[in-house]
Amino acid sequence: MTSPHERLRLGVNIDHVATVRNARGGDTPDPLRAARLAQESGADGITAHLREDRRHISDADIDGLMEVLTVPLNFEMAATDEMQKIALRHKPHAVCLVPEKREERTTEGGLEVAREENKLAHYIAPLREAGCRVSIFIAADPRQIDAAHRIGAEVVELHTGAYCDAHAEGHFDIRDAELEKLRTMATHAHALGLEVHAGHGLTYDTVQPVAAFPEVKELNIGHFLIGEAIFRGLQPAIAEMRRLMDAARA
Ligand code: PXP
């Protein structure tokens, strides 16, 4: 069992720095500058999602991140042939497989692993051989977690979106039920030997109950931090998240 006092890692997702840049089609704000600043501010890793439609992070951003980062890159991608080729070319520290739909605004659900077990087992094999830690972004559902374990993933990232949405909408009974599901599934995944991460929609208000789960080793947080950076700057925005995570863990 992971010690509850072990430092919980914070992965900062910089996708939405690229979203703002792309709104004008120029070079600013620069996601690489944000990544460097995030790592100087205590981020333990940087996460970037290269979407099929390149709506935020670009191929050149991934090239740049691979060059400048001193902390691990968690490369989020859909399980397509194109993305597999890109990942195998870069060999990032981690590859996180996410479902992707063109029409969605953000990653809406977890990956369907149980129904695609064979296909995904073959898909991740070369990534693992290349030395990438394969993580699967997944709903807090035992069927999916068991399937992720069977295909040989090393990490599952639990989707915290439903928990965060229920909090934001003031549906506190649903929020608490979602949190309980996350807690149970973190324990379940950990017992199978999977490393447990969590993320999506986390804010200063919602991070602490998840950060307190001793099985969770890493949180990946993006949209809220980049938004908060407008008001307090990226460094203080990250520092406050770090403080809340550490306090929850203490
Ligand atoms: N983890 C995964 C797998 C994601 O797809 C995302 C969103 O890109 C995040 C974490 C971060 O979510 P948010 O930007 O809402 O903090």
Domains parsed from the chain with CATH numbers: 9-249 (3.20.20.70)
- For the CA of 201, the nearest atom of ligand 1: 15
Nearest-CA residue for ligand 1 atom 6 is 200
Is 122 one of the catalytic residues? no
Residue 103 pLDDT: 66
Among candidate residues 159, 190, 200, 215, the one labeled active-site is 200
| Chain position carrying tokens 């929609």 | 201
Q: Could you tell me which of 227, 211, 102 has the C-alpha nearest to residue 163?
A: 211
- 36 annotated as a binding-site residue: no
Residue 205 pLDDT: 98
What sign does the CA torsion over 133, 139, 144, 145 have? Answer: positive
Q: What share of the chain is helix, strand, coil (3-state, %, to 5)?
A: 50, 15, 35
- 227 annotated as a binding-site residue: no
* Prediction pTM value: 0.95
Q: Which residues lie with the beta carbon below 6 Å from any ligand 1 atom?
A: 13, 15, 49, 76, 96, 98, 106-107, 137, 157, 199-202, 220-224
**Substitution site in 17, 46, 223, 224 for ligand 1 pocket (most atoms within 8 Å of beta carbon):** 223
Q: Quick one: how far is CA 118 from the chain centroid?
A: 24
Which parts of the chain register pLDDT below 70? 1-5, 102-104, 106-107
Cα–ligand 1 centroid distance for 121 (angstroms): 23
Residue 109 pLDDT: 78
Axis crossing angle, helix 234-249 with helix 223-232, rounded to the nearest 10: 120
Is 200 one of the catalytic residues? yes
C-beta separation of 221 from 241 below 8 A: yes
Phi, psi of 48 (to 5 degrees): -145, 135
- 143 annotated as a binding-site residue: no
Is 228 one of the catalytic residues? no
- 16 annotated as a binding-site residue: yes
User: Would you call 8 helix, strand, or coil by DSSP?
Assistant: coil
